[in-house]
Chain A
Amino acid sequence: MAQAITLARPYARAAFELAHAAGSLDAWSHALAFAASVAGDVRVARLGSDPRVLPAQLVALHLPADMAADAPFAQFLGEMAEQRRLVLLPEVAELYEAFKRESESQLLVKVTSAMALDAAQAEQLKASLKRRFKREIALETRVDATLLAGAVIDTGEQVIDGSARGRLAQLAGALSH
């Protein structure tokens, strides 16, 4: 079975290219985020597989209130509804954001630290990450006391584990085999 993300990719790319051409990347971003949160609801998911619900009704359900029914985004939703792919909206939104960041040469970095970072630390981290990855850094911080000390930096692909917990795990691995 193909994965949801594989199915979502063509829709996300189409949405991104449409938005990029129209110069409305941020508007699409907000609209997609809204539609994704609607699609993520279990009650909506049940409606999606109900044959009595028409595609047009589903589109109206997912469309943000401030958007016209003939806006390009509404047409995009209409196409997805025709193909019965509205359930993929969360993945589409996620991929869309990735495409958007890529076009802005921005990198989303999730930092989990044992203690909350203060502003100076965050700036310092941002600067050194920018040097390392040669991209603009969008920082997302989280606190997890179970790391004991240090931080884990997750760029989505690369994970830099500088936490005490990670080092202990490394030591445990080295001792057990």
Chain B
Amino acid sequence: MSSTTLNPSEISELIKSRIEQFKLGAEARNEGTIISVSDGIVRIHGLADVMQGEMIELPGSSFALALNLERDSVGAVVLGEYQHLREGDTAKTTGRILEVPVGPELLGRVVDALGNPIDGKGPLGAKLNAAIEKVAPGVIWRKSVDQPLQTGYKSVDAMIPVGRGQRELIIGDRQTGKTALAIDAIIAQKDSGIKCIYVAIGQKRSSIANVVRKLEAHGALAHTIIVVASASESAALQYVAPYAGCAMGEYFRDRGQDALIVYDDLSKQAVAYRQISLLLKRPPGREAYPGDVFYLHSRLLERASRVSEEYVEKFTNGEVKGKTGSLTALPIIETQGGDVSAFVPTNVISITDGQIFLETDLFNAGIRPAVNAGISVSRVGGAAQTKIVKKLSGGVKLALAQFRELAAFAQFASDLDPATRAQLDRGQRVTELMKQAQYAPLSIAELALSVYAAEKGYLDDLAVNKVLPFEKGLHAFMHQNHADLMQKIVATGDWNNDIEATFKASLDEYKKTGSW
């Protein structure tokens, strides 16, 4: 049991409701005997009717997950503590697969992999439970990705756009800002109405506490569910946590809402699954991972999807009409020494709809977020980009691409022809412009303004270290003088000649003030 503190009246209320719901009757169940307990794995004799993935009830109100069905025994992994189990204890089938509570009641809460609250705020009060393993919606029920999900990062929204329902991998070595990027994406959803789920797998409890504190400080906890399977919890819980989080996200998707889920990170889940598999004596394959490690991630990420109006209507029995639902996934993979050709990174790269590469060198060079724009891609996000950003961000991408080609010549700047030098200068300024502090997401209007300024050459005559102050002043200037236009752009995402004229006039005017 979780150590939540309750006042006495709440406890008796709970007991009363449980007694009312309690159905008394003779129970007919399949029973077996535990023949061995080791490293969180129990082998059970009997249980002839058990199903793969079924929950098995063990003494002391603990549960195990049946994973290996063999001729004379069942191999199951205990969810949580296993020290109290003994050889000869009885094990019963439950006829159910693992379920977690789902629903809007979970927003703002921190729960463990089984959905028990661990934030000391009392019981969840969730009305529904959902199975953690579900088959993803079929092709008929899907819709292509055509709505943007703003991460609030200039470099991501302009060059590697993410659409609602997309799976975009965040990959990089340790300490390159992967979690920071994901957390900022959650904070940026404060006003977008997108519900967020942050699944922390195999992390230190201190880092998780930090994330919770940061989300709370930026007012983003109210629309976020945090699912925690920390490093000190059993491998079984770390393996189960992403599926539990996904079930919570699917609740919103299936009811015509938009949700964003961050899996931080899937390499640790693969390691936990490897541990379970090896203890179950499944044959090891490449890097000692079991044979089905690809399926482990593909079935999880396949559940992130955009579903059609018909699906939502059918699912809610006509209660919600004319609304599409989406679950966007931002899985995180940690590479070792930048090696993206290792087993798990290649798998997840091939499953997802694009990846954001974060690099140590860029990070140490002060380019934060350390996004390598050259090898980061978004395979479907382009179709979902807001009109204004799509129109304006082309120049930025091109400038950076040309800059990378010429970067090697940067040392000989004085010997270069003017055209090349102009490209180098532009590239340096755009690179500088793409830097962004943490917890400072930009709206699409601000983003559009920044990339417009870069594309039209307003930054070219600035010193490189003045680019960011210039941008900051520009945003303040626009919010002061053209607040209604900025709001209109955020609301509609339109781009037309009027807006361009206003942008141009404002930039000229702002540039004259020289106040940055």
Contacts and interface: CB of A to CB of B under 8 A. Distances in A.
A123 interface: no
Nearest to A161: B27
A71 interface: no
A170 interface: yes
Contacts of A174: 18-19, 21-22
A3 B26 contact: no
Contacts of B48: 157
B-side interface mostly: mixed
A158 B22 contact: no
Interface string A130-156: 000000000000000000001000101
B61 A6 contact: no
Interface string A159-177: 1111000110011011111
A69 B22 CA distance: 63
Contacts of B31: 154, 157-159
A122 interface: no
B505 interface: no
Contacts of A6: 71-72
A157 B27 contact: no
Contacts, number: 56
Nearest to B46: A157
B463 interface: no
A158 B61 contact: no
A167 B24 contact: yes
Contacts of A3: 35, 45, 72-73
B26 A161 contact: yes
A162 B25 CA distance: 7
A171 B22 contact: yes
B18 A158 contact: no
A45 interface: no
Interface in B24-80: 24, 26-31, 35, 45-46, 48-49, 61, 71-73
Contacts of A160: 26-28
A47 interface: no
A156 B21 CA distance: 31
A154 B73 CA distance: 19
A157 B30 contact: yes
A5 B30 contact: no
* Chain B interface size range: 20 to 34
A150 B26 CA distance: 10
B28 A177 contact: no
A9 B29 CA distance: 25
Contact of B28 (A9, A159, A170): A159
Contacts of A170: 22, 24, 27
B462 interface: no
Contacts of A150: 26
Nearest to A3: B72
A171 B19 CA distance: 8
B1 interface: yes
A133 to B, nearest CB: 11
A99 B361 CA distance: 69
A161 B71 contact: no
Interface of B: 1, 15, 18-19, 21-22, 24, 26-31, 35, 45-46, 48-49, 61, 71-73, 92
Interface of A: 3, 5-6, 9, 150, 154, 156-162, 166-167, 170-171, 173-177
14 contacts: A3-B35, A3-B72, A3-B73, A156-B46, A160-B26, A160-B28, A161-B29, A166-B26, A167-B24, A171-B19, A173-B61, A174-B21, A175-B19, A176-B61
6 nearest interchain CB pairs? A162-B26, A159-B31, A160-B28, A157-B48, A174-B22, A6-B72
